[in-house]
Amino acid sequence: MNVGRNDPCPCGSGKKYKKCHGGKEVVSINEVIDEHIFQILEQFYLENPEQRDMFELNMHLTKWQNELKGFLPIDQVDHLAVDHFLFVKRQDIWIKYIERRLQKAVRPSIIKLLEQWKHPLVIIGEVIKMEDGFIKLKDVVDGHIYNLVKLDEVNPRIGEYAMSMFLPDSRQDADAIMVISGITFLPNRLEDAMKDIKAFAKKTKLSTQEFYNEHWLECCVLLNKKSQPIMTLKQVEMLTILEDFIEEYEIEEENLLNFFKVYLMKVSPNPRKAESVVAGLIRFGQEYLSIVEFPWTNKKIAEIFEVSTSTIQKYFEEMEEFFISINEDFEEEQIPRNVIFELGTYPRLMEFKNWELMKHLDNDELENEADLKAHLSKVMNKPYKPKNKEEDAQLNVYEGYFAETEKIRANHWRIAELLNPTNPDVLLHQAELTEDVNKAKELYMLAISEAKKQFDDSYEIAWAFAENRPYLRALFTYGVWQFEQGNFKEANSYFSKLLKLNPNDNQGVRYIAVSTLLHLQKYKEAQQILHDYKDQNDPIFIYLFVYLQKLQNLIHEEMRELLAVNYFAMKLLDDKPVPQAFPKSAAVAAGSEEEAQIIYTLLSGLV
């Protein structure tokens, strides 16, 4: 059925379609209703959990994380726990929201659906058939057959098991269900665990939904205990994508394939999109395995696999850390890499791991070197369980920085703020979000003040101590903010301080420090920094050096030819688009478009 432009909009708003969801085209009623349903669910997650619920949610998350260590990646465990909290443990939150939506709903089909939604379903079901746009799931407890509305880019195999929170969808049929926000598929080798769950349910004498509602975590624990360290279907999918990619591009690289198999088995990545990990692998192959067949920039890799560059960076860093951990004689300078420099105001994944390791060691009494080595072997790469609210807040801060989705990221930041509102990273995050310049400055200064309290100046190189990083991060972030506000004198004072505290410049301060000095026309000081960090193979260094000469009218034609090290930067300087913000996290390759954007940002306003 089609809706005309002057007909009432099927979303139930009471407006004409052309004034609501309409345009020049007509549209299917189901398409409009689908969009309205999506908006209802999306709005729920935007509004919840509220601040008053965060402490209880944090306790709930901690319990789930401790019970399900090693079962699924931490973000998936968090996803299950948050949905269980919002739709089961604190179902009153969901019901109140639905009742508010019912008061606004007009269309009968929406009203009927919302009434059914008051009772979300928890289901563990076996995939028994795929037909007519549905995935047929057989509940492992009572054998009921559900018709799961098929999801885009989800193709489970017969015999796999699906577990999630669902909502009834009577628009399709009486047994139709839809996923609320995400779904986890488990391999068919868990049939023994499913039998145990069925026996457990029978023993409780509860109805199926009562059983799931009360014992959802216990079911997950049973599945965790029965899990075996063999390749999952998701991992097989990732391996297949890589093999198809190697065949399509005629790449001969056995080392890449062998490394990936070991990585899959040892690290067990479980992304929402399998292509994300393979894209990270291609980047890793460029950096560490010298694979000349991969001539692409990060942006090109992202386009090939249809993922974001930030996701590529996440899995690249994870593989980098794993690669280092399995090579005892590894020396970073012996590995040929195309990355010129890693820079940005955000922490890197290695900082998170170092912080966890430091906390493991801080909380254990070690009497001699043998004890230390034994303990290191025991705790290496093991998640750290916080001992107090301050540690719990910092753990959530790191999880927030590295979360894969915006929803999970926001939850971690909310929890961190609740646990320790004066945590320096929490204050930096708040400053980043506010549009009030005065409020932002106040938050940045408070972040610097709080971070300085934990700063240990006894270290010759401040960066060497993980707990010094928040202070260095706060100084850098505030300096970049002042730079972007055009307050170059203020920015310069912070960049100068950072280079004294951390002369190795692990953050990439040198580049924006030189740009700031050029804006201030302090050419001798800019020249000194370029001399201290001289790298004639670094295109960013070359561009800054050439423009320093240009601003002093010392440039000659041979210098101009040096700019050919990055064609993309030359084009940006000719076209003069709006510059991007200084990156929060970046690891750029020489000659890449990403590097060009950084160069253009640094030179913007000078040319």
CATH architecture designation of domain 233-332? Orthogonal Bundle (1.10)
pLDDT tens by residue, 460-516:
778 877 889 999 999 999 999 999 999 999 999 999 999 999 888 888 899 999 999
HEC secondary structure over 510-564: HHHHHHHHHHCCCHHHHHHHHHHCCCCCCHHHHHHHHHHHHHCCCCCHHHHHHHH
Neighbouring CB atoms inside 10 A of 15's CB total 13
Quickly count: other Cβ atoms within 10 Å of residue 488's Cβ.
20
Residue 589 has pLDDT above 80, yes or no: no
Q: Residue 25 has what pLDDT?
A: 45
DSSP code string of 50-94: -GGGHHHHHHHHHHHHHHTTTTS-HHHHHHHHHHHIIIIITHHHH
Beta-carbon contacts of 236 under 8 Å, excluding residues fewer than 6 positions away, are none
SS (H, E, C) 240-281: HHHHHHHHHCCCCCHHHHHHHHHHHHHHCCCCCCHHHHHHHH
Give the list of residues 6+ apart from residue 500 with CB closer than 8 angstroms, or none: none
pLDDT of residue 63: 86
**Identical fold between 48-227 and 233-332:** no
Q: Do the Cβ atoms of 139 and 123 come closer than 8 Å?
A: yes
Who has greater pLDDT, 233 or 599?
599
Q: What's the mean pLDDT in 577-593?
A: 82
More confident residue, 14 or 403: 403
pLDDT for the residue numbered 329 = 39
Q: Where are the domains of the chain?
A: 48-227, 233-332, 508-606
Whole-number pLDDT of residue 337: 42
The region of weakest confidence among 69-83, 145-159, 397-411 is 69-83
- Given this model, what pLDDT does residue 607 score? 67
Per cent of the chain over pLDDT 90 is 34
Crossing angle for the helix pair 54-67 and 74-84, nearest 10 degrees?
A: 130
State how far the alpha carbon of 531 is from the alpha carbons of 235, 346, 524, in Å: 48, 26, 10
Q: What is the pLDDT of residue 491?
A: 95
Identify the weakest region by mean pLDDT among 12-16, 405-409, 470-474.
12-16
Burial annotation 583-592 (CB, 10 A radius, 16+ → b, else e)? bebbbbbebb
The whole-number pLDDT of residue 344 equals 84
pLDDT of residue 420: 94
Alpha carbons 243 and 415: distance in angstroms, whole number: 41
Q: Can you tell me the distance from the alpha carbon of 182 to that of 163, in angstroms, rounded to the nearest whole number? A: 9
383 or 278, which is more confident?
Answer: 278
| Alpha carbons 170 and 112: distance in angstroms, whole number | 8
List the beta strands (DSSP E) in 375-495.
none
What pLDDT does 557 receive? 65
CA gap 602, 544 in Å, rounded: 8
Could you read off the pLDDT of 147-195 as tens digits, one per residue?
A: 998 776 667 888 889 999 999 998 878 899 999 887 888 877 788 889 9
Q: What is the mean pLDDT of residues 554-578?
A: 79
Per-residue CA distances from 449 to 420, 437, 441, 443 (Å): 15, 18, 12, 10
Taking residue 6's Cβ as centre, other Cβ atoms within 10 Å add up to: 10
**Quick one: tokens of 257?**
């394939």
Q: How far apart are CA 210 and CA 75, in angstroms?
A: 26
Give Cα separations from 273 to 139, 152, 237, 269, 278 (angstroms): 26, 11, 10, 11, 10
* Run of H or E including 195: helix 191-204
Output the six-digit token pair for 484. Answer: 């972007």
Return the bridge partners of 219, or none.
Answer: none
Rounded Cα distance between 268 and 262, Å, is 10
What is the pairing mode between strands 134-139 and 145-149?
Answer: antiparallel
Give the model's pLDDT for residue 334: 37
Residue showing tokens 């009623």: 29
- CATH no. for 48-227: 2.40.50.140
Q: Taking all residues of the chain, what is their mean pLDDT, rounded to a whole number?
A: 82
Q: What whole-number distance in Å separates Cα of residue 151 and Cα of residue 162? A: 13
Cβ atoms within 10 A of the Cβ of 199, count?
10
Q: Quick check: helix, strand or coil at residue 186?
A: strand
Residue range 12-31: mean pLDDT, rounded? 56
pLDDT classification of 231: cutoffs 50, 70, 90: low
Asked if residues 579 and 600 have their Cβ atoms less than 8 Å apart, the reply is: yes
Summary count for the chain: helices (H), strands (E): 26, 10
Distance CA 346, CA 586 (A): 9
Q: Is the pLDDT of residue 30 over 70?
A: no
Task: Please name the amino acid found at residue 65.
Answer: Q
Placement of tokens 């974001």 in the chain: 308
Please tell me the predicted confidence (pLDDT) of residue 229: 47
Note the pLDDT tens digit of each residue in 355-398. 887 787 765 555 555 665 566 666 666 778 888 999 999 999 99
What is the mean pLDDT of the segment spanning 443-457? 93
- Whether the ω angle into residue 49 lies within 30 degrees of 0, i.e. cis, is yes
Q: Per the structure block, which two tokens stand in for 373? A: 């080595």
Q: Which of 518, 528, 436 is nearest to 483 (CA)?
A: 518
| Long-range contact set of residues 130-137: C-beta below 8 Å, sequence gap at least 24 | 130/156, 130/158, 134/172, 134/176, 135/162, 137/162, 137/177
- Give the per-residue pLDDT at 4: 60
User: For residues 523 and 550, is the Cβ–Cβ distance under 8 A?
Assistant: no
